[in-house]
Amino acid sequence: MVGTRLASLTCISVILLISLLTLECHAETKSSDQTGRGLGPVLHYIGSDWDVLTRSMTRCDSVVDPKLPEAALLYLPASFAESDSVKQLEQACKVRVEHLPVVVQHPGQAGVDAISPQGLLFLPNSYVVPGGRFNEMYGWDSYFIILGLVRDRRIELARGMVENFFFEIEHYGTVLNANRTYYLTRSQPPFLTSMIMEVYNAEKAAGHEDKDWLERAYGFAARDYEMWMREPHLAGSTGLSRYYDFGSGPAPESLQDETGLRRKVAGYFLLHPELSRTYVIVKDSSQAAPGSDGPDYGVQVCDVAKTMARPGCDAAGTVQLSADYYKGDRSMRESAFDISFRFGPYGAATHHFAPVCLNSLLYKTEKDLEAISQLLGKTAEGGQWKQRAEQRKQQIDKYLWDDQRGLFFDYDLRTGARSTYEYVTTFYPLWAGLASPQQAQAIARNVKIFEQPGGLATSPNDTGMQWDYPYGWAPLQSLAVEGLRRYGFTADADRISYEFLSTVVENFRREGTIREKYDVVTRSSEAHVSAGYQANVVGFGWTNGVFLELLEELPKVMVDRLAKEQDVALPSSHP
């Protein structure tokens, strides 16, 4: 057994090393001689990067999980036949293949949190991963990846990814955060109908309209929508929905490369008594602490060092983070905004909010399902979806719109009041088409709250978290820009697009890579994140996709200007 495990670990190490070398060689090839060819180098990088980032059940590098130290393991759905390709993967890559111990019908089903060791969940079709530590198919990432695949005419690959989500709904209970066993307790922001419509419309434009496929897609999308419409995903009595992870305790994917996070969280809460009462439990040595699922943390009180001598310290006790903290942390990961202070410090209260983003996406889902119903001749069902969307719009206006500040805000279910945390998700209602013209105009006037030299910052709040100031993320640029265009604020949309595109391509010329996020204040790829994973990951799936999408919508004169800027030599160092 020991010899087998060592051999398996050695094989995984080799696979991981090959994957990393592939990315490094890819970056090195693209970084040489970038001046004098306009946008050609970055477009070539993106076009070839789709293949670098593509995974399937026939590739050894698909199973590797950089987030965990365990040996590679592939899980098939319970009672699912093992195909010849899986058998070949098992033999060629020395990968262990198992079946899930239960038939999974919904997220968080009894038994899924006890699966050990963790592993990759089988998907039937090839898919594009974000890159780096994210070596699996993600829920909301895939929408922005699919935008790029459609622009690059890789429609078959895009369709296969959407069908993978159908497979997840059928065999794993929902569109998962990603296809790993530790994600069987949660989903991600719902973009499924948006992905369906992108593929359907692309195929239709190519002369291959497939209503049979659309009929099948409709059934899966309606089924997945229902998960957000029942407890525990309901946001109290608001008629809105919330994020909620069914698991408990620390999220497994955070244990290896988010070291120190929870010590910082515990320390922060201990210094804020109004929060420590909810999130910190003082442990009695004589009995287990109630209401906690995580490790112990020792608390010391030390003298302030004023000389080279080691300060004196005394143990003050042992604490644990509460079950409510871990529920909020996990739910924050379902929201995909990990980590921000938007839902309270360190996102600890995520499950206590009705969020602007989620409910805008559900409105968009309802409108998409209405449109699909009409295309399929399901008139009565179309009317029901229309009514659901209108009801949600009314509740969003009631609970999430602040007329005085001219922004949408998340609603705190504990206090019964809107948050005051300004966040770039205020543009989601424009993208979804639910904002009134007056609301859209007010938001457009407030663009300055978020706009920086490199695009839109996620928030104006500098918390040290990656989903706050000064970072800008491709998907949020895309949604905001498309929302502004939808309501006629074309100049704002063009300007923001140009700021972000020029930031991406400038850093590409310096590094030969595309990143998951950028400091939009300094227009740099440098990231100084104080909690959570520290890397600014290379790849990067959604940035590639958004780059193509924003570039396509930019006026030709601005595209030409952007291209000409690439023919000017860069300064020797970033200011």
The pLDDT tens digits of the residues spanning 79-105 come to 899 999 899 999 999 899 999 999 999
What is the share, in percent, of the chain residues with pLDDT greater than 90? 82
Rounded to whole angstroms, the Cα distance separating 459 from 356 reads 14
Give the separation between CA 531 and CA 426, rounded to whole angstroms: 25
Is 2's pLDDT higher than 80?
no
Beta strands in 303-394 (DSSP E): 313-321, 353-354
Query: Which tokens in the block code for residue 470?
Result: 């000064």
pLDDT band at 70 (very low <50, low <70, confident <90, very high): confident
Per-residue model confidence (pLDDT) at position 569: 87
Domain residue limits, the chain: 2-227+450-565, 252-303+312-347
Work out the widest C-alpha separation in the chain, in whole angstroms: 80
- Angstrom distance (rounded) from CA 368 to CA 191: 10
DSSP E strand boundaries for 228-312: 280-282, 296-302
Task: Convert the pLDDT of each residue in 273-309 to its tens digit.
Answer: 888 889 999 988 666 666 677 899 999 999 998 888 8
Task: Supply the pLDDT for residue 293.
Answer: 79
For the record, the structure tokens of 75 come out as: 């899980």
Active site annotation includes 170: no
Q: What confidence tens digit (pLDDT) does each residue in 182-215 have?
A: 999 999 999 999 999 999 999 999 999 999 999 9
pLDDT digits (tens, 9 = 90+) for 486-501: 999 999 999 999 999 9
For the chain, how far is it from start to end, CA to CA, in angstroms?
55
Nearest CA among 214, 329, 317 for reference residue 270: 317
Residues 56, 172, 361: CA angle, nearest 5 degrees: 95
462 annotated active-site:
no
pLDDT in tens, 339-348: 999 999 999 9
Of 338, 482, 506, 519, the active-site residue reads 338
CA distances from 575 to 68, 324, 461, 489, 570 (A): 37, 43, 23, 32, 11
Catalytic residue, candidates 49, 516, 519, 549: 516
The SS3 assignment for 182 reads helix
Residue 11 is predicted with a pLDDT of 45
Number of residues assigned to the chain: 575
